[in-house]
Amino acid sequence: MDRRGFLRTAAGAGAALAAGPAPFLQNLHAFQTTANLSHVEARYYRKLPDREIECELCPRRCRLGDKERGYCGVRENDGGTYYTLVYGKACARNVDPIEKKPFFHVLPGTTTLSFATAGCNVNCKFCQNWEISQSRPEQVMAVDFPPREVAAAAEASGCPSIAFTYSEPTVFYEYMFDTAVEARRRKLRSVVVSGGHINPEPLDALAKVVDAVKIDLKAFSPDFYKTYVRGELAPVLESVKLLARRKIWLEIVYLVIPTLNDDPGDVRKMVRWILKEAGTDVPLHFTRFTPMYLIKNLPPTPVSTLQALRRIALEEGLHYVYTGNIPGDEGENTSCPNCRTTLIRRRGFEVETNVIKGGQCPQCRIPIPGIWA
């Protein structure tokens, strides 16, 4: 697809959107060649003797010999220099409602140009985009989509923001970072949808060039992360704390999986931790699980479970608690924590009404935190 064709596709993509996997560019089985891989030097690694390297981007700290790739499958040691193979190589892209990410306190009712590359640094057994997240770049079709063209496409399609999403943006860090810089130059916002499995130094640098981050907090249990994510909980919690300290707009999503991470006591502990480390105004989304990938033996999350967990979070003192993947539920709406006026009414990804004015509740005039313009 050439650039003109992409712009036509992007401009019309928002008209027919539904919850579900990332919009892949091509069939997974239409393998591409290594000729379409990038060879851009990676950031955040150190050179070791005998042409070995140690990656310093994520907590895995992969130590690799010559010609070896990291766990993510998209970064390779070539003769003692570490390279990203997916810089400027988008394998999924679309124009999405910002609510789909989900961001509920960032430019509500607008669209965001969303894209991803192959690869991930964890392996969630419930991943809805496993076809790209668990693939090497040779296994998915990708188009050349460098940072300047991403920003130009966002402008052409009327999107005030760019979203790094679908797979794990940490693994295409250099591509994400440079695109965010280009977006800021054009006065566009950048939002990151991440699992938070990243080291503090690169996250701190990224926080200086992006506007908002959504962290998927998979559970409040190290054992869950070990068994169902193949990652660690502690680095994710550190990411949440760092973003809160840097005052980057942060929203947290908790996918509720029946019998695995839906214990009310554990959720209450998590909410208390969020209150302590990130404050009362961080939006928390409890979203509904649908069986897929490697977990197909469990039912979808009961609506009553999501509603009960939302009540717990509100009782504990969080101001903005939402339910997701259940269109029409009261938990989709944003209400003023002071006077209880309904400020934003949603149904699915659609904003039906939004009465926030100047970042304030129109009734009692208290500030409503978020990015509204």
Task: Give residue-wise pLDDT tens across range 260-284.
Answer: 999 999 999 999 999 999 999 999 9
Q: Is position 173 within any domain? A: yes
Mean pLDDT of all residues belonging to the chain: 92
For 371, phi then psi, to 5°, come to: -115, 105
Q: What is the C-alpha radius of gyration for the chain, rounded to an integer number of angstroms? A: 20
Residue 229 has pLDDT above 60, yes or no: yes
Are residue 56 and residue 119 in the same domain, yes or no? no
Q: Which band of pLDDT confidence, cut at 50, 70 and 90, is reported for residue 17?
A: very low
Question: Does residue 137 share a domain with residue 209?
Answer: yes
- Where among 21, 52, 84 does a domain terminate? 84
Q: For the chain, what is the domain count?
A: 2
* CATH number, residue 99: 3.20.20.70
Q: What is the mean pLDDT of residues 6-13?
A: 36
**More confident: 2 or 271:** 271
Q: Judge if 144 and 45 occupy the same domain.
A: no
User: Looking at the domain assignment, is residue 145 inside a domain?
Assistant: yes
**b/e burial code for range 24-59 (CB count within 10 A of at least 16 → b):** bbeeeeeebeeeebbeeebebbeeeeeeebebbbbb
What's the burial of 369, exposed, middle or buried (CB within 10 Å: 0-12/13-18/19+)? middle
Residue range 134-164, pLDDT digits in tens:
999 999 999 999 999 999 999 999 999 999 9
Q: Which two tokens mark 137?
A: 């770049």
Stated pTM of the model: 0.92
Residues 137 and 55 in one domain: no
Q: Note the pLDDT tens digit of each residue in 170-217.
A: 999 999 999 999 999 999 999 999 999 999 999 999 999 999 999 999
174 and 254 share one domain: yes
Residue 15 lies in a domain: no
Report pLDDT digits (tens) over 287-309. Answer: 999 999 999 999 999 999 999 99
Q: Which residues constitute the domain of residue 337?
A: 89-354
pLDDT of residue 7: 34
Is 326 within a domain? yes
